[in-house]
A and B are shown apart, each in its own frame.
Chain A
């Protein structure tokens, strides 16, 4: 994980990008330490790609500043790109080249050896026979795999991946998640944008939620999940217990022998309250990031609704 002597892999300070009247990013401040898988979450149009493109020097910030690997995003963008791997959202490749030639070309321009290519091709099931076919004959999933390989083949210190699992089948998504975990173990940093909540929940250490260019929250995924409401259902034999005093319990409904509720915070007081031989069945649905995400959005919408 993060070494104290190193600057954060990514640091932004009040980073702002406006396109005329459109405020794509608004005073976004965040740090991504080395060795972390960082999820950058938001719906389409929230500003995820704008943030990534600003970090890589495709866009110049309207105000604020940013550093990637300790280098300034405006003055040192070439040096930043030398040390990073980037997968653009909806990647386009050179159709007239074979997959192998495209990878060779891009690696050549990167000026680095493709030290991880063989491993990546193996793990993402891109055999030589497929690599030798023209990119124009590839399916969307195959193109996405080539995109992932081109971003990671030179084993960059930092990988910036814009919606990397788009177009991958569930099997390949799992292979990709394992790959990310291995890269984290190898000390690489992954900045990962997505609107698929389950994958962010599965592989990311921390997550930032962005909406309309504003940073809504930046938290550990575990912390975020701990703050979410769990859905609880239980069946009871005989008279239902009085659960009204259990801390964090809400939305309590009793229908015959069934009780449903939501629980926020610690589980232990609730478990103590229901510990009885009369308990027939218990289901605690784990908190999901999707709920957290929706809550943030619902809160913000409500706040907007009451704004004058």
Chain B
């Protein structure tokens, strides 16, 4: 790994990281407040039949329990956008983007091996995703404390939620980096990675809202991110294993393929 490259990569992301961290913390803070202030109102709406009950189970979450609300907050499209910006946006632009711009030439003219370059970018992506995840969860923890809801959760299990979330987003980041290392242009790398994220998200949401196709959730990586279950003491090691494998496979693939690729002159 190259420390100078790592620091520069983080430096290049600092402004958008700061904006996303503030937004993610704010969003995290809102979730316990929404749960505390509006859960009963939503329950009445559901009981009255105006809103279908399944809509309250978006993702694997639920607005009617605090662990469920936390899951909902982390699987909400806003949270996906915050995390996806770095897990997909930054990773796909890192190699394919530099290749398309022509700057990869100048970078690889330095004494940096492609393996080192790839691992440095993977570590940078992991740090960025971890910071956003911590901002989201930090906001939620502060919100829980402010609303006086700490007795509804086992906050000691929070580090496991962080690991679970980090594995999920590492899987997407590794896929993004793998795609970035495979293509010479940004568009196919970004398109493929976004499609991977959206298909996974779609399968999870579809199964949660439509009980007839609940089986589709099993095929989504999002379904193996279960903060609510973990916070209730029901962590499943299989979820961690599946997400770990989903992160490792594209990582190993790119480590094998990228150093062997012919990098012809940019068009």
Which residues of A pack against B, CB within 8 Å? 19, 49-50, 53, 56, 58-60, 77-79, 81-82, 84-86, 88-94, 96, 105-106, 108-111, 150-151
Closest residue on chain A to residue B115 by CB atoms: A78
Given contacts A91-B102, A92-B103, A94-B103, contact A86 B109 (CB under 8 A): yes
State whether A58 touches B103 (Cβ < 8 A): no
Q: Which residues of B contact A88 (CB under 8 A)?
A: 102, 105-106, 109, 265
Of the candidates A19, A77, A91, the one whose C-beta lies within 8 Å of that of B105 is A91
Q: Is B147 part of the binding interface, using a Cβ–Cβ cutoff of 8 Å?
A: no
Contacts A78-B111, A81-B111 supplied; 5 other A-B pairs, CB < 8 Å: A49-B265, A53-B263, A88-B265, A109-B112, A151-B109
Q: What is the CA–CA distance of A49 and B264 in the complex, to the nearest angstrom?
A: 9
Which residues of B pack against A, CB within 8 Å? 2, 4-5, 8, 12, 101-103, 105-113, 260, 262-266
Q: What is the CA–CA distance of A86 and B264 in the complex, to the nearest angstrom?
A: 15
Of the candidates A59, A109, A111, the one whose C-beta lies within 8 Å of that of B264 is A59
Q: Which residues of A contact B102 (CB under 8 A)?
A: 88, 90-92
Q: In angstroms, how far is the closest chain B Cβ from the Cβ of A117? A: 16
Q: What is the CA–CA distance of A151 and B105 in the complex, to the nearest angstrom?
A: 12
Q: Which residues of A contact B5 (CB under 8 A)?
A: 109
State whether A89 touches B265 (Cβ < 8 A): yes
Closest residue on chain A to residue B100 by CB atoms: A92
Q: In angstroms, how far is the closest chain A Cβ from the Cβ of B192? A: 23
8 contacts between A and B (CB under 8 A): A53-B263, A58-B264, A79-B111, A81-B111, A81-B112, A82-B111, A94-B103, A109-B107
Q: In angstroms, how far is the closest chain A Cβ from the Cβ of B118? A: 14
Of the candidates B2, B103, B264, the one whose C-beta lies within 8 Å of that of A53 is B264
State whether B264 touches A60 (Cβ < 8 A): no
State whether A111 touches B103 (Cβ < 8 A): no
Closest residue on chain A to residue B263 by CB atoms: A58
Q: In angstroms, how far is the closest chain A Cβ from the Cβ of B263? A: 4
Q: What is the CA–CA distance of A206 and B166 in the complex, to the nearest angstrom?
A: 57
Closest residue on chain A to residue B5 by CB atoms: A109
State whether B106 touches A108 (Cβ < 8 A): no
Q: Which residues of A contact B262 (CB under 8 A)?
A: 19, 58-60
State whether B111 touches A106 (Cβ < 8 A): no
Q: Which residues of A contact B263 (CB under 8 A)?
A: 53, 58-59
Taking each of B103, B113, B265, which has the highest tally of chain A beta carbons within 10 Å of its own beta carbon? B265
Q: In angstroms, how far is the closest chain A Cβ from the Cβ of B215? A: 43
| 10 tightest A-B CB contacts, nearest first | A92-B102, A82-B111, A86-B109, A109-B110, A88-B105, A58-B263, A81-B111, A49-B265, A59-B262, A78-B111
Of the candidates B103, B264, B265, the one whose C-beta lies within 8 Å of that of A93 is B103
